[in-house]
Amino acid sequence: MPIRLYQILSKKRNFANLKNYFRMKKILTALLSLCLAAFTLAGQEIRNIDETVVIRSDGSARITQVWDVNVVSGTEFYLPFDHLGPIEISDLQVSENGEDFIAEGDGWDTDRSREEKRGRCGIVRKKNGVELCWGQGDYGDHVWTVRYTVSGLVMKMGEYNGLYFSFVNPGLSAPPQHVKVMLVNETGGPAWTEENVKVWGFRSESEIFVEDGAVRAESLEPFRSSSAMTVLVRFDPDLLNPAVEYNEGFEAIMNLAFKGSDYKDKTTFGDVVAWILIILGLLILTPVGWIVLALIIYLVFAFNYHVLGWKYDKKIFGTRKIKGWYRDVPLKGSIPAGYYVLSKGDAKNEWGKDCSNHLIGAYFLKWVLDGVVEVLPDPENKKRVNLSFKQQTSFKEVLENDLYTMVREASGKNLILEADELEKWSKKSYKRMSDVPSRALTIGRKWFEDRHYTEKSNRLNQEGQEQARHMIEFKNFLEDFTLNKDRGAVEVTLWQDYLVFAALLGIADKVAKQFEKLYPADFSKFSQALNGASLYTVMSYSSSISASALRNARVAKTWSDSGSSSSSGGSYRSSGGGGHFSHGGGGHSFGGSHGGGSR
């Protein structure tokens, strides 16, 4: 008999005390179990979910998922799907390292041991859904390939065909660090485009686009426990012929998905109240009051920015003041990483400064200086040039490849970009062009995440902040180059890289003038490759057409979004052209559930 129990019984032969003793022991045991469970789950990892959804003409799909995970507890991995309605899920297959698991069909027994489930998979049928299950085997790292068929994934919904499905649940045993879902067209019908397929996403920091004839939904940052990958897609009726017809139209499904989302269908009572308050505010505040308020705001900003020198975001740079020099090309020459730093870290950007024009102009200048694009004199205008894109090439960076492809398309059959061609093309292909800056931000952020990112604090670590500061220190170096006697000689080939980043910083003209002043002979040789064109003309042209093309694309996109409507004529904030997910909304989706992972 334990000593504590003996003392209770010997001092007071009281049954209540004995009862309290066992109650306390029970609570302590439960707390210990909870702590142990929390410690165990902390080691769980879902590093990546790569999902390919091959959609057939009848609306069914064969889904292939690749799960890159680390498991530390449980006997099986499971994926729950609820609220399936007319949708059916079947034919589960799982493999690892090229070896197929034994498929048990619908007879999966969840109560078996880990060893009994090893190398096996099966389905649990529930009242309103299913669970796809497979044995985890040994604890540690696994890469599973999971395949299953979904009948009725795309349904006929009134005059449109629709897909509204949760591909990744919230509440997994560990939040995924990266998720990608690709919807692939194997219907045998017309190609999917931004005109005939509209897309929306919900419940995570992700993006969704129609691109290259497919639909891509991909996370932009690691999931939280509440994050999900819920997708809504509207297909034009001629794209496929679904075997399942839903009893409600797409409009009803869309309204259900949009409830509580960032997307908005019709003007609500709250909108009316908000507008009334704004109008009252304008009436109450006199013109003099507005002028005084604007002046105060400007003076506060000017004092912080110019007097105190608080020019930069501390989360990005680790300080608000940056005065040093850095003479090497920063960030290993990554243009998107530099764009990310400039867009997120400069206090001026919060007041309307936009360096996206410089982003595209920097790529143009890079291609010219690398000899990928040939400069040709414009026979009709000496103040401008034409650019030959006849050279077919590829770049390591996907965004640079895509941008080069866009400009080649704009240059027409002769592959020579002439007056106004890119600007006109951008009006028609506004989605592709207007997405370039946001895609650069995503790539730039990923560049830092792969090297210098602290996930817990959602900011750059010290080394990352130092790398970010190099961007501003490099700008200081370029601007003050002629002032410093200890600057040293700079190789001509290095000036090429300098000019590209100077274009991104918006100071290419100033840097070129310093180059010409300090090294006139080298500058002359440097310019000879431009077929007699002035380097200043090339830089000015690159910058101006980039600005015009991006402006035209954004204007066209704004008109498209504001002019889009649902089938009933209600105007929507999102045209379905893709973009960022809504953090809210996405409720009552088909397949939507909670949980999954190791158990």
Task: Tell me the domain boundaries of the chain.
Answer: 3-31, 45-263+582-598, 264-301, 319-555
| Mean pLDDT rounded to a whole number for the chain | 82
pLDDT at residue number 461: 82
The C-alpha atoms of residue 245 and residue 236 are separated, in whole angstroms, by 15
The C-alpha atoms of residue 327 and residue 310 are separated, in whole angstroms, by 23
| Residue pointed to by tokens 């649940």 | 169
Residue among 451, 599, 592, 598 nearest 46 (CA): 598
Count CA atoms within 13 Å of residue 301 on its CB side: 11
Top-confidence residue, 285 or 132:
132
Q: How confident is the model at residue 3 (pLDDT cuts 50, 70, 90)?
A: very low
245 has which bridge partners?
156
Residue among 373, 348, 317 nearest 530 (CA): 373
Q: How confident is the model at residue 311 (pLDDT cuts 50, 70, 90)?
A: low
Window from 267-281, 520-534, 547-561 with minimum mean pLDDT: 267-281
The vertex-547 CA angle with 541 and 549, nearest 5°, equals 95
The C-alpha atoms of residue 423 and residue 546 are separated, in whole angstroms, by 8
CA distances (Å), 99 to each of 145, 469, 524, in order? 10, 49, 64
Q: Is the predicted pLDDT of residue 102 greater than 90, yes or no?
A: yes
Top-confidence residue, 340 or 556:
340
**Span 351-369, mean pLDDT?**
80
Q: Residue 514, SS3?
A: helix
Q: What is the reported pTM?
A: 0.50
pLDDT at residue number 544: 85
The DSSP-derived string for 435-499 is THHHHHHHHHHHHHHTTSEETTTTEE-HHHHHHHHHHHHHHHHHHTGGG-TT-----HHHHHHHH
State the fold for domain 45-263+582-598: Immunoglobulin-like (2.60.40)
DSSP-derived letter for residue 304 is I
Q: How confident is the model at residue 289 (pLDDT cuts 50, 70, 90)?
A: low
Q: Is the predicted pLDDT of residue 494 greater than 70, yes or no?
A: yes
| Whole-number percent of the chain with pLDDT over 90 | 47
Q: Is the predicted pLDDT of residue 31 greater than 60, yes or no?
A: no
Q: How confident is the model at residue 429 (pLDDT cuts 50, 70, 90)?
A: confident
Q: Are 357 and 351 in contact (CB under 8 A)?
A: no
pLDDT at residue number 296: 63
Q: Is the predicted pLDDT of residue 546 greater than 90, yes or no?
A: no
Residue among 52, 64, 91, 74 nearest 172 (CA): 74
Element (H, E) at 116: helix 114-117
**Span 53-68, mean pLDDT?**
98
Q: What is the pLDDT of residues 564-599, one digit of tens each?
A: 433 333 333 456 777 788 888 999 999 999 999 999
pLDDT at residue number 573: 40
The C-alpha atoms of residue 28 and residue 530 are separated, in whole angstroms, by 79
| Residue pointed to by tokens 């003996």 | 6
Q: What is the pLDDT of residues 197-234, one digit of tens each?
A: 999 999 999 999 998 899 999 998 899 999 999 999 99
Q: Are 578 and 208 in contact (CB under 8 A)?
A: yes
Q: Is the predicted pLDDT of residue 139 greater than 50, yes or no?
A: yes
**Span 7-36, mean pLDDT?**
50
Give pairs for 485-489: CB < 8 Å, separation 24+: 487/327, 488/327
Residue 22 neighbours by CB under 8 Å, 6+ apart? none
The C-alpha atoms of residue 12 and residue 399 are separated, in whole angstroms, by 79
CA distances (Å), 488 to each of 62, 482, 484, 513, in order? 62, 10, 9, 17
pLDDT at residue number 5: 43
The C-alpha atoms of residue 373 and residue 365 are separated, in whole angstroms, by 9
Sequence letter at residue 110: T
Q: Residue 160, SS3?
A: strand
Window from 286-295, 360-369, 427-436, 455-464 with minimum mean pLDDT: 286-295
Element (H, E) at 171: none
Residue among 549, 544, 547 nearest 385 (CA): 544
**Span 383-391, mean pLDDT?**
88
pLDDT at residue number 414: 94
